Amino acid sequence: MPSGTDPPSTPRRVRIVAVANQKGGVGKTTTAVNLATALAAKGEPVLLIDLDPQGNASMGFGFTRDAKTRGTYHLLSGESSLADATHETFVPNLTLIPSDIDLAGAEVELVGEQRREFRLRDALAPLRTGGPGGFIIVDCQPSLGLLTLNALVAAHSVLVPLQCEFYALSGIGALMHTVDMIRRRLNPGLRVEGIVLTMHDRRQSLSELVAEDARGVFGDLVYTTVIPRNVRVSEAPSHGKPVLLYDFRSPGSQAYVRLAAEMLERQRGGTDGRAGGAAPGGMSPGGTSPGGTSPGGAPS
């Protein structure tokens, strides 16, 4: 190599993160939308995939389910290419594959298809191997069905929003068990990106107790950043905007900015993600949750 010539840098690969929790109402879509926006604001190329038939993540950027827009259904069914299903948003560096009204029937249509669990992974193959770096954030539906399975098979890691209430904590073992099962059978590279505590209300002792229990069981998997219960976060979707654009100075906005910074810092430090079967604190992914409540099993 000629003197004075820097060695070529290793190109960054895109990181695919599924935002998943089988329980609804835990801040999953809110986290997907606002984390994606915060990462894009930090200069990261971000593709947000709305894999929830409810289409709330799409509505957060002004897309409606009944619009004649090619999106996730057309991508999974093979009717559209990745490029055709991807749309620009008003957020720089952030593109979207929106949900559409046909996505609700996708699980029924795909159940008899070959490689049905790999439809999303196959569609994202060009970005997995030769993309420009950055992130693909996949907003999953609140269930562990075929659409969520596609997200977990395609992803490098899963980010779990955990509402600071007891029932949300007691059910997380089922998701961890499913992650471990998928890692062993379908996606050996799948890791737990982390657990983010949402809807935290420091005025309520239950929020503090759930946070303490989560950190006691899952250790460093739980992000330091906590998303507070904040009215501006709840208002933003009705205006078709992420909360970072609706009210940047609100506590909710600032929490998602810190979450994005913490995620990037973890990745730079190589501390992101653990094996799906390596839950800390002596708890197996399908084990007993705090308080002695059995989390239940994963779907067959």
pLDDT given at position 232: 93
pLDDT per position as a tens digit, 62-106: 998 766 789 999 999 999 999 999 999 999 999 999 998 889 888
Q: With a cut of 60, say whether residue 274 has pLDDT above it.
A: no
pLDDT given at position 11: 55
Q: With a cut of 70, say whether residue 151 has pLDDT above it.
A: yes
pLDDT per position as a tens digit, 158-168: 999 998 877 77
- The burial of 292, by beta-carbon neighbours within 10 Å (0-12 exposed, 13-18 middle, 19 or more buried), is given as exposed
- Average pLDDT (153-178) is 87
Q: With a cut of 60, say whether residue 298 has pLDDT above it.
A: no
- Average pLDDT (51-58) is 94
Domain 15-266, what fold?
Rossmann fold (3.40.50)
The band of 277, judged by pLDDT with boundaries at 50, 70 and 90, is: very low
- Quote the CA–CA distance of 162 and 166 in Å, as a whole number: 10
pTM: 0.84
pLDDT given at position 269: 79
Structure tokens that stand for 270 in this block: 């190589």
pLDDT given at position 54: 92
The band of 290, judged by pLDDT with boundaries at 50, 70 and 90, is: very low
- Quote the CA–CA distance of 37 and 179 in Å, as a whole number: 26
- The burial of 275, by beta-carbon neighbours within 10 Å (0-12 exposed, 13-18 middle, 19 or more buried), is given as middle
